[in-house]
Amino acid sequence: MSSPMTPGIAAARLPSETVETNFADLHEPLAPHEAAVAADRCYFCHDAPCMTACPTSIDIPLFIRQISTGTPEAAAKTIFDQNILGGMCARVCPTEELCEQACVRETAEGKPVEIGRLQRYATDTLMAKQSHPYERAATTGKRVAVVGAGPAGLACAHRLAMLGHDVVIYDAMPKAGGLNEYGIAAYKSTDAFAAREVSWLLGVGGINIENGMRLGQNLSLDTLKDENDAVFLAVGLGGVNALRVSGEDLDGVSNAVDFIKELRQSSDLSSLPVGRDVVVIGGGMTAVDAAVQSKLLGAQNVTIAYRRGQDGMSASQYEQDLASSKGVRLMFNLQPVAVHGDGAVREMEFEYTTDDGTGLKGTGEKIRIAADQVFKAIGQTLDTDGGLEISGRKIAVSGAGRTSAQGIWAGGDCASGGDDLTVTAVAEGRDAAMDIHATLMGGN
């Protein structure tokens, strides 16, 4: 992130009490009576469209019925059977585009059952009991290496450990959790929930985590293959795309993921420096998270500039509306042309774009936006693949995460296939674990 000494970027723009309020839990947890009322709205559909829309195929009508009958712990078990990170997914999953969008109540009334909040109510209730709901099977004597302690790696490791395998997770960062720990807005995951969830997940036993281990640096794929019966890669996307425009190296220009990472690990949010005029370039969830949090830290003017139209943004409509409600200006059909400034950024220059069906083109019309801080959020790239076959700039996989090399699986954001969502990563990690287990126990 840019130095606090960069002109226009300053800490303590707002009193610490205001910042603390700004970063409070985005959605307050349901009280028991609120959960009962919310659960009562469910039709308990036999052929539930919400369940089909869930990437982890949670039996949503069943867990909501269990809540309605006063057994939230049983509801949580129903959730965890399919999604061991159901607590975090209840906080960050775009339910408005998945299960809740498919809800019959949404179709009929425009107001779906609050599936996400009910899932959080159930999972929080069980996790508060401290004890882990699963026991390991008898040891198989097999050892599996998991590279990456994000959602896919954790889900894979938990399922493998539950089935009796010994698992070692290698992760490059000081703390486990991946994007759950380092890459999402602080108001979505409060009270160190990501770390607490990892600690709870490890309660199944049979999983060891080694931090500070990065594939391609102090970790070799060949060595992992030699020392383990199987390897699962969940390395995420560590590289960040460049703007490739003049002035990109000026002070005040940095990556949105680095800003969010620093914010997530800060013990005093009010001490974080932020610009007065902030421009975020991109149209995804990272762009929205960076923009909203800049505003919550006290930036006066925050703009998201996206090169396509609003319907092309990968951030959900809910996230776009959240940004607007916090005072973020969303501008569309703008592609970056240059960063202007003398040592430090002063303005971002954009060109308006259009798409006539043959691809995005510049119109020649340009605009400059005042900026003393610019965050790049234009996508991340795979920065280590271990020499495996690549498809679409990600590790090529088939079936339940099988790569081009025997004995190596991959899942999550680093693998080709599904959406780059926490819930999708969990599903891929879980399914790969089942395929690894079947293979190690004598399957194909």
Q: What is the pTM of this model?
A: 0.95
Residue 9 lies in a domain: no
Give the pair of three-digit tokens for residue 84: 């061991």
pLDDT at 1: 47
Q: Starting at the edge strand that comes first in sequence, how are the strands of the sheet with 143-147 ordered?
A: 207-211, 166-171, 143-147, 230-233, 408-410
Query: What are the tens digits of pLDDT across the range 149-177?
Result: 999 999 999 999 999 999 999 999 999 99
Segment 239-296, tens digit of pLDDT: 899 999 999 999 999 999 999 999 999 999 999 999 999 999 999 999 999 999 999 9
What percentage of the chain carries pLDDT values higher than 70? 98
- Residue after which a domain boundary falls, among 379, 399, 418: 379
Asked, for residue 15, whether it belongs to a domain, the answer is no
Domain count, the chain: 3
Q: What contacts 219, CB < 8 A, 6 or more positions away?
A: 147, 170, 213
Residues 209 and 276 in one domain: no
Q: Are residues 214 and 281 in the same domain?
A: no
The average pLDDT across 181-201 equals 96
355/291 same-domain check: yes
Report yes or no on 19 lying in a domain: no
Q: What is the CATH number of the domain that holds 424?
A: 3.50.50.60
Share in percent of the chain as helix, strand, coil (round to 5): 35, 20, 40
Shared domain for 433 and 374, answered yes or no, is: no
* Matching residue, tokens 């009929």: 108
Predicted pLDDT of residue 176 = 98
> Which two three-digit tokens encode residue 316?
């959900």
Exposure b/e, 152-187, CB count within 10 A at least 16 = b = bbbbbbbbbbbbbbbbbbbbbbebbbbbbbbbbbbb
Q: Does residue 267 belong to any structural domain of this protein? A: yes
Evaluate whether 407 touches 65 at the Cβ level (below 8 Å): no
Is residue 431 included in any domain, yes or no?
A: yes
Query: What residues have CB less than 8 Å from 359, skipping those under 6 apart?
Result: none
Yes or no: say if 164 and 251 are a contact pair by the CB < 8 Å rule.
no
Q: What is the pLDDT of residue 444?
A: 60
Task: With residue 407 as reference, give the H or E element that holds it.
Answer: none
368 and 256, same domain (yes or no) = yes
* Whole-angstrom distance, CA of residue 407 vs CA of residue 284: 34
Specify whether 296 is located in the same domain as 370: yes
Strand partners, 39: none
Q: Which residue reads 């959900």 in tokens?
A: 316
The answer to the question of residue 414 being in a domain is yes
Is the same domain home to 223 and 275?
no
Residues 170 and 265 in one domain: no
Does residue 374 sit in the same domain as residue 267? yes
Domain boundary among 379, 397, 416: 379
Q: Across the chain, what does the average pLDDT equal? A: 95
**Is there a domain that residue 103 lies in?**
yes
Confidence of residue 385 (pLDDT cuts 50, 70, 90): confident
Quickly state the pLDDT bin for 53 (edges 50, 70, 90): very high
pLDDT digits (tens, 9 = 90+) for 321-330: 999 999 999 9
Neighbours of 46 (CB within 10 A): 6
Amino acid in position 418: G
Same-domain pairing of 39 and 65: yes
Q: In angstroms, rounded to a whole number, what is the distance separating the alpha carbons of residues 156 and 145?
A: 10
- Copy the structure tokens of residue 364: 């020649």
Same domain membership, residue 81 and residue 47: yes
Instruction: Collect all residues with Cβ–Cβ distance below 8 Å to 47 and sequence separation of at least 6.
Output: none
Distance CA 228, CA 435 (A): 16
Domain range for 183 is 143-238+382-440
Is residue 197 domain-resident? yes
Burial of 97 (0-12, 13-18, 19+ CB in 10 A): middle
Check whether residue 188 and residue 306 sit in a common domain: no
